[in-house]
Amino acid sequence: MMQGEIKTAVLIGAGNVGWHLGHALNEMGIRVLQVISKSPSSCKELAGLLHADYTTSLQQLAPEAGIIVIAVPDSRIEEVILQCDFHQNLVVHTAGSVPMEVFNGRAVNYGVLYPVMTFTRSKPVDLASVPLLIEANTTGNNENLNVLATRLSGVVRTISSEQRKYIHLAAVFACNFTNHMYALAETTLALKEIPFDLMKPLIGETSDKINRLSPRAAQTGPALRNDIPTLEEHLRLLDSHPDIAELYRQISKSIITFARQKNK
């Protein structure tokens, strides 16, 4: 028997995460009753797509919801929580970097539902393969959250706030910093007015490799080979961008350090 099975949801936040979670919940038959966002146009638009009510006021939070999902930027979670009355409803946030304890004393039934993914509004993501990391304040809440998450994704795990912090940090390397490497490539090509498109097959293959090889086994390039003439030539090409040259030097050094550890 699935006591407390979640059948309805309220969404706080109408950004990228709210947009994707809202659609996924609706598709899985968990009806989104209400969308709350401080942006009137965003919450009206998303509510329209989800056939939900909408408001810009946290004081208008619907009193009955199977689950309240807070999908606002990490730095705004605490301020949102302080303005809400969650009653006995289960409430979760979706942030990697915020501990579950942010709900202490402000909610009775609470937890975290963290999707390890980067979301862009205009680009559909198949949530089925996205890891959903859950945590809850009681075994019962964890069970309910687990049932819900398993309807959305094939990869659900219970993870502590402490572990989730490290996963979020790893995601910064794997996503945000990786994307900045693409931006640095684009900037380098722009020095000679070469279009970035040239990099796209290489970028696709580099990420695809990871499905077969560990990152350490997949490493290639002049730094790994300790190819000093090429490293020096690259720094020379970056003469006009000393900040990028310094970053090139630091990352190359880190690759060499990793290679030495591996060979030990």
Of residues 170-199, those binding a copy of itself (CB under 8 A): 170-186, 188-189, 191-192, 194, 196, 198-199
How crowded is the C-beta side of 131, counted as CA atoms within 13 Å?
A: 10
Q: Which residue in the set 162, 239, 240, 263 belongs to the binding site for a copy of itself (CB under 8 A)?
A: 162
Cβ contact 121:137 at 8 Å: no
> Interaction with a copy of itself in 101-160: which residues (CB under 8 A)?
116-118, 120, 122-123, 125, 129-131, 155
Judged by CB under 8 A, does residue 239 bind a copy of itself? no
In angstroms, give the least distance from the CB of 249 to a copy of itself.
10
| 8-12 and 109-115 strand pairing | unpaired
**3-state secondary structure (DSSP) of residue 158:** strand
> Interaction with a copy of itself in 35-54: which residues (CB under 8 A)?
none
Judged by CB under 8 A, does residue 82 bind a copy of itself? no
Q: Which residue in the set 212, 239, 240, 264 belongs to the binding site for a copy of itself (CB under 8 A)?
A: 212
Q: Which residue in the set 2, 41, 139, 229 belongs to the binding site for a copy of itself (CB under 8 A)?
A: 229
Q: Say how far apart CA 187 and CA 240 lie, in whole Å.
A: 12
The 10 Å Cβ neighbour count of residue 225 is 13
In angstroms, give the least distance from the CB of 88 to a copy of itself.
31
Q: Say how far apart CA 146 and CA 179 lie, in whole Å.
A: 31
Judged by CB under 8 A, does residue 100 bind a copy of itself? no
In angstroms, give the least distance from the CB of 175 to a copy of itself.
5
In angstroms, give the least distance from the CB of 178 to a copy of itself.
5
**3-state secondary structure (DSSP) of residue 136:** strand
Helix ranges restricted to H, 115-160 = 139-152
Judged by CB under 8 A, does residue 60 bind a copy of itself? no
Helical packing angle, 16-27 and 40-50, nearest 10°: 20
